Amino acid sequence: MVVVDCNVLAQLLIDGVETPRARALLEQDADWHSDALVLIELCNVLSIAMRTRGLQATSAGAVLTQAQGVIEAGLHGAGHHETLDMAARHKVSAWDARYLVIARDLDSPLVTGDARLRAAAPKLTRSLATAVGY
């Protein structure tokens, strides 16, 4: 089981520097979990790419469909009060705190490319490089 945030899911499906690592992570363990917010965040990433990088709507839709196939069975909902407590404890956004709540509840570190989030909650997170061993 792997808990991921939006940046790891996006890196898996949108070619970039970390795409090989994200793909390696999926190959190692295809049982990905996250907060239900992850697909909303991914929609935002895709809408920005459509506006600023010329990503076609059909391509964005295909990425979203692929993302749903990878993550939908492992979606969870972090409680609002737990999220607020986690955000205060680690001094992170409520968005990031939701991922931390899921990681804590599933007793599995959150894999994230967000260095600030890893610094804020090192016991609950790990980098993509660490997760895949390179």
- Compute φ and ψ for 107, nearest 5 degrees: 55, 45
Give the CATH H-level superfamily of domain 2-132: 5'-nuclease (3.40.50.1010)
Q: What is the pLDDT of residue 134?
A: 86
pLDDT of residue 17 exceeding 90:
yes
* Rounded-to-integer distance, Cα 38 and Cα 27, Å: 20
pLDDT of residue 35 exceeding 90:
yes
Whole-prediction pTM: 0.94
Mean pLDDT, all residues of the chain = 97
Q: What is the pLDDT of residue 4?
A: 98
